[in-house]
Amino acid sequence: MSEVKGNYTKPQFYILLLLRLIIGYHFLFEGVNKLFNPSWSAVGFLLQSNWIFSDLFILIANSPTLLAISDFLNIWGQILIGLALIIGLVSRYAAIGGAVLLLLYYVAYPPFIEGYTFVDRNLLEFLGLIIVMLFQTSYIIGVDGLLGKVRSEKNG
C-alpha cells in the first residue's frame, strides 16, 4: 500500500478512513444496543423536544403506531448506517442518511434552547458525516471499491 491513496496523501486518507470507521462504530453500537434493550424507546427523547418542530415530535411520541415506526427506523437506520460505514458499502448514502438522522436529533432538542452553546455532540458528529460524505474513502478501502472493480471488469 505504498501508493498515494486516490486524490489524498496517505495521512489525509487514513484520517478520513478512521473518521468513517469511528462514526460507523458509534452508529452500529447505538443501534445494536437499542435492539438488545427491549424497553428502549425514543418516547422520552421525543417528549422533551423543545424547538420549532416539537409539535411534530410530540405527536409522534403520543401515537403508538408512529412511535413504533420511529423506534424501528431509528434502530435499524442506525445499525445499517453503522454497518455500511464500516464495511464501506454505499458509504456515501449511509453518510447522508446518518447526517439526516443527526440533524433530526439536533433540531428535536437543540442545546441553545436550554441556554447552552449551540455546539453539541450531535452537531459535531453531523459535520463528521458531511466530511465522510464529501471525502470518500470506501472506493479505496471498502466494498464500494470492490464493487467498482467488478463493474468495470464486466464492462471491460
Report residue 22 as a C-alpha cell.
469511528
Residues 40-59 that bind another protein (CB under 8 A): 43-44, 48, 50-52, 54, 58
* Site size with another protein, rule: CB under 8 A: 36
Q: Are the beta carbons of 50 and 109 closer than 8 angstroms? A: yes
Nearest Cα to Cα of residue 109 among 48, 27, 67, 39: 48
Is 66 an interacting residue with respect to another protein (CB under 8 A)?
no
Interhelix angle 10-35/121-134, rounded to 10 degrees, is 130
Is 21 an interacting residue with respect to another protein (CB under 8 A)?
yes
Is 31 an interacting residue with respect to another protein (CB under 8 A)?
no
Is residue 8 classed as helix, strand or coil in its secondary structure?
Answer: strand
Contact positions vs another protein (CB under 8 A) = 17, 21, 24-25, 28-29, 32-33, 36, 43-44, 48, 50-52, 54, 58, 83, 86-88, 113-115, 140-143, 145-147, 149-150, 152-153, 156
